[in-house]
Amino acid sequence: MIRNVAELVELAESKQVKTAEIMIQQEIKVSGLTREEIIEKMDKNLTVMEQAIERGLKGVQSFSGLTGGDAVLLQNYIKSGKTLTGNLLLDAVSKAVATNEVNAAMGTICATPTAGSAGVVPGTLFAVKEKLNPTRMEMIEFLFTAAAFGFVVANNASISGAAGGCQAEVGSASGMAAAAIVELAGGTPAQAAEAMAITLKNMLGLVCDPVAGLVEVPCVKRNAMGASNALTAADMALAGIKSKIPCDEVINAMYLIGQRMPLAHKETAEGGLAATPTGKRLAKEIFG
């Protein structure tokens, strides 16, 4: 079993393989399934992600009315040619938003690592796909890389908003995406770890404060910011920038912050944005 990021990187470097391959090998040992069966299961996850993005980009609306349509607005803005941050980044943001809008509309998504943070990994993957032109297998490996880093976080900190705040959900998803982007772009396992560390450091302390207790506001837009964070951190790592704090120590810091975070800020809808006058008014309007 992969115990931490340092071990994950060491295994990948010693075997001269991607971290994706280490995760595949672990799955073979743990599940008893064949390599082909494991890859087939991940391929199905990839298909679900792709279908969710396609549905979201056509425009969806949640039953509460809190979210929907923003992915379409972003795509229209990209087409206007007036963007400030660049098409790839905004494409990732729109596809992350599309995925979470589908989740809010009770559609099918792939929790990566949770439903509330399901947009970041597929959003960034299908955006960089336009630039890097990966094969289907390379896209599947992207998901295994993300899974490897997510596995470490889940076992050493948390991926649950109720346990560790949104830093544990969107933060983890963003770190997973950053690491996977680096490897897909040809970076090393060590650079992937740096990308995750950089990403997580900038999302420490992020609270989970869903308005009306629904996974919509601010969750959808946090996935947008998570996708932006992941892409920026990946570029920094590929440029040779390193985190002064090792990835495993950042993950431990996230765990400790989550443990000390007030319950009002951990998915209870009792604090943060949920406790604002507008947040309370929206809750009353939705639930009567």
pLDDT in tens, 139-193: 999 999 999 999 999 999 999 999 999 999 999 999 999 999 999 999 999 999 9
pLDDT at site 259: 98
pLDDT at site 32: 96
Query: How many CB atoms neighbour CB 189 within 10 A?
Result: 26
Comparing CA positions, the residue from 106, 103, 208 lying closest to residue 161 is 208
pLDDT at site 244: 98
Task: Give the pLDDT band (50/70/90) at residue 111.
Answer: very high
What one-letter code names the amino acid at 110? C
* Reported pTM: 0.97
Helix residue ranges, H only, 19-160: 19-31, 35-58, 70-80, 87-104, 120-132, 136-156
pLDDT at 76 over 90: yes
pLDDT at site 1: 85
Task: Give the pLDDT band (50/70/90) at residue 126.
Answer: very high
Task: Give the pLDDT band (50/70/90) at residue 219.
Answer: very high
The predicted model gives 252-275 an average pLDDT of 98
Tokens of 19: 């971290």
pLDDT at 26 over 90: yes
pLDDT at site 212: 97
pLDDT at 262 over 90: yes
The predicted model gives 36-42 an average pLDDT of 98
The mean predicted confidence, pLDDT, of the chain is: 98
The predicted model gives 246-273 an average pLDDT of 98
pLDDT at 133 over 90: yes
Helix residue ranges, H only, 105-246: 120-132, 136-156, 161-164, 166, 172-184, 189-201, 219-238
Residues in the chain: 288
pLDDT at 34 over 90: yes
pLDDT at 221 over 90: yes
Task: Give the pLDDT band (50/70/90) at residue 11.
Answer: very high
Cβ distance 181 to 149 under 8 Å?
no
pLDDT at site 288: 83
